[in-house]
Structure 1
Amino acid sequence: MSTGKVVLGTVAGLAIGGILGILFAPEKGSVTRQQILDRGTDYAEDLKSKYSGIADSLKEKFQAVKKDAEDIAQNGKAKFDEAKNDIKADINKPATNY
């Protein structure tokens, strides 16, 4: 069994256990519903925070790759221009007879 499946199963089990614990707690239904709502809000905020962190990380990596690609393109253009000028210079040289 893969590690991802084990982790997912554990998280799902904890969530189900928490919900069942709240549902079977000896409190009023309104208090129980509020606890479920509060936990759901906490989980939603946690997911938003994690998503935001992942999105920022991906954005930074994309910007770095973009800059690297621009640098490579500029270096390639400079080498191409240099080679083109060398060829033009060679073409314009007077021919020498041996």
Structure 2
Amino acid sequence: LLVLTSGAPVKAGKCPKECSCDNAKLSVACVGRNLTEIPPTIDEITVKLNLRNNNLQMILKEAFIHTPHLTHLNLQLCNIIKVKEGAFRSLDRLLSLNL
């Protein structure tokens, strides 16, 4: 048996430790983790982000600057009190926003 490898490392998508990720579907789910902020290590190619049932309270202006490909965002039951102006500005591809 002969196995050939190119020697180039395979880049795995970044998945925050408090989330579960499906690289094939480009989705990240951080549901019910009592998060107080959006994890900064979400892979930039993510298209579906589920943050349902957390304690985010405030969505900062730069919250989604590193995830410009999001098409679906779920922020239901996150105790959101304030959304800073421009928080969703970088999400040009967003089709669905659940608050």
Higher strand share: 2
Higher RCO, Cα 8 Å, sep 6+: 2
TM-score of the two chains, using structure 2 as the length reference:
0.20
Higher helix share: 1
TM-score of the two chains, using structure 1 as the length reference:
0.20
Whose radius of gyration is greater, 1 or 2?
1
